[in-house]
Structure 1
Amino acid sequence: MTSPIQKLDGISVRPYRDSDEKNWVNCRVQAFLDSSYRDDVQQYREEYENPSVRIVAVRDQDQQILGFLDVEYCSEQGPETVEKHGVLWHLGVLPDYRRLKLAHTMWEVAKLELKAAGVSRVQAWTQDDTAANLWYLRQGWKVTKSYLNVYVRGLMGEFPLKDLLPGIDRVWKYGHIRNFNFEAPLEYRSELEKLSYRMHEVRVYEIEL
């Protein structure tokens, strides 16, 4: 199914095209720079194993991508029924265009295609960026799970790795560990704040279509 094109003031929301790849990658980098995902940089546009809905918002005059939204979906076999569920992998808008409701419009266009494909539920992961979390809540998404994404740097046998990995007092077989990233339950927040240089709360959202 081809998603309908939605027209805004000099901007169109339409399906992603293969020719958009370089433009899409550049937009993703710029859209994430002021977020907690600022180091999640990639130089390619991944392909999905399952069907997907890929939407972009583009400036009409030059087809510059201003925002993007990707949802991959598949079938999940239950005891009596088959439910199609999706995961929203990518969502972002360039800073100068964030008050034009582009994310909302892309999501509305995506929902039409998802519903037509029989998708009934979508999940999304985000971190503790205030604007992003407010957007999900305003669209009707519900938080189903939260945990910590913790970043630590140091050397084996020294603080803070010595506190996190007791019993390790020598150099690792392959050399020094410089960065250590792991997930942890929320109840360890105060303890881990003393050991990490960066920490985010990850929230899992879900919505029924």
Structure 2
Amino acid sequence: MEIRGYTQSDEVSWIRCRTLSFLNTAYYDNVLNKKEIYKNSAIEIVAVEDGQIVGLLDIEYEQEENTICTKGKGLGGMIWHIAAHPDFQRKRIGTKLLEQAEQISKEKGLQYLEAWTRDDEWVNKWYIKNNFEKVYSYLQVFIEGNEEVQEVINVNVPNLKVVQAFAHYTGDDQSYIKSKFKRAHDCNCYIKKLV
């Protein structure tokens, strides 16, 4: 397996890898049809085996404090994507990508990495195992179905009917929100200090 920088010719394989790796997670519906182009500088690396992208990691990083990241001190890098193709999991691809990205991040003068993930237990354990610290959490709420939508959304536009919505809940009564909506995910922020 080779770890190298992402190139534009990797895009289709990158999208396939990301989509398949997210399929059996709480992010199953977060499907992309093209790879983002970041406004700021980014570390974009891939793991390749037999010409196929089997892992990926993207970090957009700051030149000025708190312009991308929000929970750490100093210059940070936001991990936007980290994934291993399901046919190649359990080969430490994510860890190898992270190790390479940390080395590059330190060379660029970053003090920490920030990552956000939903409530998949194995993903959260992976971050903790790799020395990230959970520093914040809120709920991502998917409001779906007539009952849920009608209870929380008032529409003042004639002939417009909302059928679903996405919301963030940052209050203290998370158990109430989880009991009220069928799909409410913890969204956890992790920080890893690099210095």
How does the TM-score come out when normalised to structure 2?
Answer: 0.89
C-alpha distance in 1 between matches for 2:182 and 2:47 = 36
- Give every structure 1 segment of 4 or more consecutive aligned residues whose post-TM-superposition deviation is greater than 6 Å: none
Selected match of 1:139 from 120, 130, 136: 130
Determine if the alignment matches structure 1 residue 55 to structure 2 residue 45: yes
**Equivalent residue for 2:27?**
37
Partners in 2 of 1:21 and 1:14 — Cα distance? 14
Determine if contact 2:149/2:164 at 8 Å carries over to the other structure: no
The 3-state SS of whatever aligns with 1:180 is strand
| Structure 1 residue 69 corresponds to structure 2 residue 60 | no
Q: Which amino acid aligns with 1:140?
A: N
The correspondence of residues 1-209 of structure 1 with structure 2, limited to 5 A, is 11-59=1-49, 61=50, 63-77=51-65, 83-155=74-146, 159-165=147-153, 168=154, 172-173=157-158, 175-185=160-170, 187-209=172-194
Once the two structures are superposed, what CA deviation does each residue of 1:118-145 show, in whole Å capped at 9, x if it has no partner? 1111111000011111110011101110
Distance across 1 between alignment mates of 2:171 and 2:86:
30
Q: Distance in 2 between matches of 1:47 and 1:154?
A: 34
- Identify unmatched segments of 5+ residues in structure 2: 67-72
Counterpart secondary structure, 1:75? coil
Q: How far apart are residue 162 of structure 1 and its match?
A: 4.2
Cα deviation, residue 33, structure 1: 0.4
User: Aligned partners of 1:70 and 1:77: how far apart in 2?
Assistant: 19
Q: Following the alignment from structure 1 to structure 2, what is the Cα–Cα distance between the partners of residues 92 and 142?
A: 19
Residue 75 of structure 1 contacts residue 83 of structure 1 at CA under 8 Å; is this kept in 2? no
Please give the root-mean-square deviation of Cα atoms over the aligned residues, in Å: 2.0
Q: Deviations over 1:46-97 (max 9, x none)?
A: 11111111111111x3x1001100001012359xxx9421100001111222
SS in 2 for 1:14: strand
SS at match of 2:9: helix
Identity of aligned residues (%): 30
Instruction: Map Cα deviations across residues 110-167 of structure 1 (whole Å, 9 max, x no partner).
Output: 1111111111111110000111111100111011100011111234xxx3344435xx
Query: How many residue pairs were aligned?
Result: 188
Q: How far apart, in 2, do the equivalents of 1:141 and 1:207 lie?
A: 4
Q: Which residue in the other structure is 1:4 paired with? A: none
> 2: distance between equivalents of 1:47 and 1:33?
23
Are the structure 2 counterparts of residues 77 and 136 from structure 1 closer, same or farther at C-alpha, using a change threshold of 3 Å? closer
Q: TM-score, normalised by structure 1?
A: 0.83
In terms of Rg, which structure is larger?
1
The residue type equivalent to 1:64 in the other structure is: Q
Q: Distance in 2 between matches of 1:186 and 1:57?
A: 39
